[in-house]
A = this chain, B = another copy of it.
Amino acid sequence: VAGSYHHGNLRRALLDAAADVIAAQGLGALSLRDLAGRAGVSHGAPAHHFGDKTGLLTALAAEGYRLLGEALTEASAAGDFLEAGLSYVRFAVAHPAHFQVMFSPQLYRADDPDVVDARARTDAQLYGTAPERPGVAGPRDVAIAGWCLVHGVATLWLAGNLRDTADDPIELARRVAVSAFRDPGAA
Protein backbone atom coordinates (compact mmCIF):
# COMPACT_ATOMS: atom_id res chain seq x y z
CA VAL A 1 0.00 0.00 0.00
CA ALA A 2 2.74 2.40 -1.01
CA GLY A 3 2.00 6.08 -0.60
CA SER A 4 -1.12 5.60 1.47
CA TYR A 5 -1.47 7.21 4.85
CA HIS A 6 -2.60 4.09 6.66
CA HIS A 7 -0.31 1.12 6.72
CA GLY A 8 -2.93 -1.59 6.72
CA ASN A 9 -1.31 -4.04 9.09
CA LEU A 10 1.27 -2.15 11.08
CA ARG A 11 0.94 -4.23 14.20
CA ARG A 12 1.79 -7.40 12.33
CA ALA A 13 4.61 -5.68 10.44
CA LEU A 14 6.18 -4.40 13.65
CA LEU A 15 6.05 -7.81 15.33
CA ASP A 16 7.62 -9.42 12.28
CA ALA A 17 10.33 -6.79 12.10
CA ALA A 18 11.04 -7.22 15.81
CA ALA A 19 11.42 -10.98 15.36
CA ASP A 20 13.80 -10.38 12.46
CA VAL A 21 15.97 -7.94 14.37
CA ILE A 22 16.17 -10.08 17.50
CA ALA A 23 16.99 -13.20 15.51
CA ALA A 24 19.68 -11.45 13.50
CA GLN A 25 21.20 -8.99 15.96
CA GLY A 26 19.94 -9.94 19.38
CA LEU A 27 17.69 -8.32 21.91
CA GLY A 28 20.16 -5.53 22.56
CA ALA A 29 19.68 -4.20 19.03
CA LEU A 30 15.91 -3.85 19.35
CA SER A 31 14.52 -0.31 19.20
CA LEU A 32 11.06 1.00 18.43
CA ARG A 33 12.45 3.69 16.17
CA ASP A 34 14.28 1.14 14.08
CA LEU A 35 11.20 -1.06 13.81
CA ALA A 36 9.11 1.92 12.71
CA GLY A 37 11.71 2.69 10.06
CA ARG A 38 11.67 -0.90 8.81
CA ALA A 39 7.89 -0.77 8.51
CA GLY A 40 8.15 2.52 6.61
CA VAL A 41 6.30 4.50 9.22
CA SER A 42 7.11 7.43 11.49
CA HIS A 43 8.80 6.65 14.76
CA GLY A 44 5.82 7.62 16.90
CA ALA A 45 3.51 5.12 15.27
CA PRO A 46 4.38 2.02 17.33
CA ALA A 47 3.01 3.69 20.46
CA HIS A 48 -0.46 3.42 18.94
CA HIS A 49 -0.33 -0.36 18.86
CA PHE A 50 1.77 -1.32 21.83
CA GLY A 51 1.87 1.65 24.15
CA ASP A 52 5.53 1.20 24.91
CA LYS A 53 8.45 -1.09 24.24
CA THR A 54 7.48 -3.48 27.01
CA GLY A 55 4.07 -3.74 25.39
CA LEU A 56 5.62 -4.93 22.16
CA LEU A 57 7.72 -7.54 23.94
CA THR A 58 4.66 -8.68 25.86
CA ALA A 59 2.80 -9.18 22.58
CA LEU A 60 5.76 -11.11 21.23
CA ALA A 61 5.85 -13.38 24.28
CA ALA A 62 2.12 -14.08 24.11
CA GLU A 63 2.39 -14.87 20.42
CA GLY A 64 5.34 -17.14 21.19
CA TYR A 65 3.37 -19.17 23.70
CA ARG A 66 0.50 -19.43 21.25
CA LEU A 67 2.82 -20.63 18.47
CA LEU A 68 4.51 -23.12 20.77
CA GLY A 69 1.12 -24.45 21.81
CA GLU A 70 0.20 -24.97 18.17
CA ALA A 71 3.54 -26.64 17.48
CA LEU A 72 2.87 -29.14 20.26
CA THR A 73 -0.75 -29.90 19.38
CA GLU A 74 -0.16 -32.82 17.10
CA ALA A 75 2.35 -34.70 19.22
CA SER A 76 0.28 -33.93 22.29
CA ALA A 77 -2.86 -35.39 20.74
CA ALA A 78 -0.95 -38.48 19.72
CA GLY A 79 0.54 -38.81 23.21
CA ASP A 80 4.02 -38.96 21.69
CA PHE A 81 6.56 -37.77 24.28
CA LEU A 82 9.61 -37.88 22.03
CA GLU A 83 7.84 -36.10 19.20
CA ALA A 84 6.62 -33.39 21.58
CA GLY A 85 10.21 -32.76 22.59
CA LEU A 86 11.35 -32.57 18.99
CA SER A 87 8.53 -30.15 18.22
CA TYR A 88 9.75 -27.96 21.07
CA VAL A 89 13.19 -27.77 19.49
CA ARG A 90 11.69 -27.22 16.05
CA PHE A 91 9.74 -24.29 17.41
CA ALA A 92 12.83 -22.75 19.00
CA VAL A 93 14.79 -23.04 15.77
CA ALA A 94 11.95 -21.69 13.62
CA HIS A 95 11.11 -18.80 15.99
CA PRO A 96 14.32 -17.96 17.83
CA ALA A 97 13.22 -14.43 18.71
CA HIS A 98 9.92 -15.53 20.24
CA PHE A 99 11.71 -18.29 22.11
CA GLN A 100 14.30 -15.92 23.51
CA VAL A 101 11.74 -13.35 24.64
CA MET A 102 9.37 -15.91 26.17
CA PHE A 103 12.08 -17.13 28.50
CA SER A 104 13.27 -13.66 29.52
CA PRO A 105 10.26 -12.78 31.64
CA GLN A 106 11.88 -9.67 33.14
CA LEU A 107 11.59 -8.05 29.71
CA TYR A 108 7.80 -8.15 29.44
CA ARG A 109 4.65 -8.12 31.55
CA ALA A 110 4.48 -11.77 32.51
CA ASP A 111 1.17 -11.18 34.28
CA ASP A 112 -0.49 -9.92 31.11
CA PRO A 113 -3.74 -11.93 30.70
CA ASP A 114 -2.88 -12.85 27.12
CA VAL A 115 0.48 -14.21 28.19
CA VAL A 116 -0.88 -16.04 31.21
CA ASP A 117 -3.60 -17.67 29.16
CA ALA A 118 -1.40 -18.76 26.27
CA ARG A 119 1.24 -19.99 28.65
CA ALA A 120 -1.22 -22.06 30.67
CA ARG A 121 -2.48 -23.82 27.55
CA THR A 122 1.07 -24.55 26.42
CA ASP A 123 2.16 -25.81 29.82
CA ALA A 124 -0.69 -28.30 29.84
CA GLN A 125 0.52 -29.74 26.55
CA LEU A 126 4.10 -29.74 27.76
CA TYR A 127 3.14 -31.94 30.70
CA GLY A 128 0.57 -34.04 28.88
CA THR A 129 2.56 -36.65 27.02
CA ALA A 130 5.12 -37.73 29.60
CA PRO A 131 5.07 -41.43 30.46
CA GLU A 132 5.86 -42.92 33.82
CA ARG A 133 9.22 -44.67 34.14
CA PRO A 134 8.35 -47.57 36.42
CA GLY A 135 10.67 -47.82 39.37
CA VAL A 136 12.41 -44.57 38.47
CA ALA A 137 10.08 -41.57 38.26
CA GLY A 138 6.46 -40.55 37.88
CA PRO A 139 5.12 -38.81 34.79
CA ARG A 140 5.47 -35.35 36.27
CA ASP A 141 9.18 -35.74 37.00
CA VAL A 142 9.70 -37.25 33.58
CA ALA A 143 7.88 -34.29 32.02
CA ILE A 144 10.09 -31.78 33.81
CA ALA A 145 13.21 -33.71 32.90
CA GLY A 146 12.13 -33.85 29.28
CA TRP A 147 11.38 -30.17 29.24
CA CYS A 148 14.78 -29.31 30.72
CA LEU A 149 16.51 -31.57 28.24
CA VAL A 150 14.96 -30.11 25.10
CA HIS A 151 15.20 -26.60 26.51
CA GLY A 152 18.92 -27.16 27.01
CA VAL A 153 19.33 -28.44 23.47
CA ALA A 154 17.41 -25.46 22.10
CA THR A 155 19.26 -22.74 24.03
CA LEU A 156 22.69 -24.25 23.48
CA TRP A 157 21.94 -24.62 19.79
CA LEU A 158 20.57 -21.09 19.36
CA ALA A 159 23.55 -19.58 21.16
CA GLY A 160 25.84 -21.43 18.76
CA ASN A 161 27.38 -23.75 21.32
CA LEU A 162 26.56 -26.99 19.55
CA ARG A 163 27.35 -25.98 15.99
CA ASP A 164 30.51 -28.09 15.89
CA THR A 165 28.72 -31.02 17.54
CA ALA A 166 25.95 -31.51 15.01
CA ASP A 167 24.58 -30.17 11.73
CA ASP A 168 20.89 -30.64 12.33
CA PRO A 169 19.44 -29.61 15.69
CA ILE A 170 16.49 -31.97 15.35
CA GLU A 171 18.68 -34.98 14.73
CA LEU A 172 20.80 -33.87 17.66
CA ALA A 173 17.73 -33.56 19.88
CA ARG A 174 16.60 -37.03 18.91
CA ARG A 175 19.98 -38.50 19.73
CA VAL A 176 20.16 -36.69 23.02
CA ALA A 177 16.65 -37.73 24.00
CA VAL A 178 17.39 -41.35 23.22
CA SER A 179 20.68 -41.24 25.11
CA ALA A 180 18.91 -39.99 28.19
CA PHE A 181 15.56 -41.72 28.27
CA ARG A 182 15.77 -45.06 26.52
CA ASP A 183 15.93 -48.06 28.78
CA PRO A 184 18.83 -50.42 28.16
CA GLY A 185 16.47 -53.35 28.23
CA ALA A 186 14.27 -52.03 25.40
CA ALA A 187 14.45 -53.24 21.83
User: A9 interface residue, CB < 8 Å from B?
Assistant: no
Q: A interface, how many residues as a size bin?
A: 35 or more
Q: For residue A27, which residues in chain B have a CB less than 8 angstroms away from its CB? A: 28
Q: For residue A178, which residues in chain B have a CB less than 8 angstroms away from its CB? A: 136-137
Task: Check B176 against A145 for contact (C-beta < 8 Å).
Answer: yes
With A28-B28, A179-B133, A180-B181 as contacts: A104 and B159 at CB distance below 8 Å: yes
Task: Check A144 against B26 for contact (C-beta < 8 Å).
Answer: no
Q: For residue A124, which residues in chain B have a CB less than 8 angstroms away from its CB? A: none
Task: Check B184 against A144 for contact (C-beta < 8 Å).
Answer: no
User: A151 interface residue, CB < 8 Å from B?
Assistant: yes
Majority DSSP secondary structure for residues of A touching B: helix
Q: For residue A3, which residues in chain B have a CB less than 8 angstroms away from its CB? A: none
Interface string of A85-123 (1 = CB under 8 A from B): 000000000000000000111110000000000000000
With A103-B161, A183-B184, A185-B184 as contacts: A147 and B141 at CB distance below 8 Å: no
Interface string of A14-29 (1 = CB under 8 A from B): 0000000000001110
Supply 12 A–B pairs (Cβ within 8 Å), ascending by A. Answer: A27-B28, A28-B107, A137-B175, A141-B179, A144-B165, A145-B176, A145-B177, A146-B180, A148-B149, A148-B176, A152-B153, A183-B184
